[in-house]
Amino acid sequence: MIIDKLYKAVEEKGHVCVGLDTDISYIPKAFLESFSSIEDAVFNFNKEIIDETFDYVACYKPQIAYYEALGIEGLKAYSRTLKYIKSKGGITIGDIKRGDIAKTAEMYAKAHFQGEFEADFITLSPYMGMDTIEPFLDYIKNHEKGVFVLVRTSNKGSEDIQYIESKGSRKIYNIVGEKIKELGETAIGQCGYSSIGAVVGCTHVDEGKELRETLSSTFFLIPGYGAQGGKAEDVALYLKNGNGGVVNSSRGILLAYKNKDQGEKYFAKYAKEEVIRMKEEIALAVKLYS
């Protein structure tokens, strides 16, 4: 199963997931102007980042909204980015956060698990109900695909809905997490984790240990590190025996060149340096706090 490949990548390369949230403003001006199209500029910026960081990261997560905002050229860059990572043997998470029912969900599954936008994993929102995930299950069981389902996110507004208490003082995110774990039991890999994982932000550390214990076979995609305030010691609470999750950073890596000596010229080099710093920081925290 695809989760075994991701688990092995974490073992070999560490926990870092590079978020390719490529806003056009992130691309150094001289680099941007050296290409005749937005498509080529965005793709080649991503390519430089990928080539420099590939040996140090577990996976890559392009956020589709940044590419949709650029129109057709942006979506072409998104497609080329996914295909390029695949050609190198890397793992991709298409951050699409879809959530719909019946035939619509079938079309989302088809769009992002095959064809021009094919990814290894995608992100899903379950808040219309668990039947929104059903159309993706065949791809998970039979076609080496996986999903990360929103459980408890890293944004402040997550408390508006995810923290509502139901009977027995159980919060909505607890209930969703338990349903994801139950569904995930149909797709457990040899590593002991399921290809049906959860998005769990590391900016709410109080519940970290509880979530990790409760969702023992659920692999986590962990946003919130760096720019959103999450620290390495916070991340360590969401891991188990040094594995069980990948930690996403986007702006912290893509914009690492800012205020650096000749930063715009060597943006990919500084991205690699930030990845290595982050990787080592998390590895140390795992030893100290997990």
Amino acid 259: pLDDT: 87
| Number of domains forming the structure of the chain | 1
Residue 97 designated active-site:
yes
* Contacts of residue 218, Cβ cutoff 8 Å, sequence gap at least 6: 177, 180, 181, 184, 193, 194, 196, 197, 198
Any alpha helices (H) in the chain, and if so which ranges? 2-13, 29-33, 38-53, 64-68, 71-87, 102-113, 137-142, 172-184, 208-214, 232-236, 251-254, 267-289
* Contacts of residue 186, Cβ cutoff 8 Å, sequence gap at least 6: 137, 141, 194, 196
Q: Which residues of the chain have pLDDT under 50?
A: none
The CATH number of the domain where 16 resides is what? Answer: 3.20.20.70
Catalytic residue among 8, 47, 83, 97: 97
Amino acid 171: pLDDT: 84
Amino acid 227: pLDDT: 66
The boundaries of the domain holding residue 30 are 2-289
Amino acid 180: pLDDT: 96
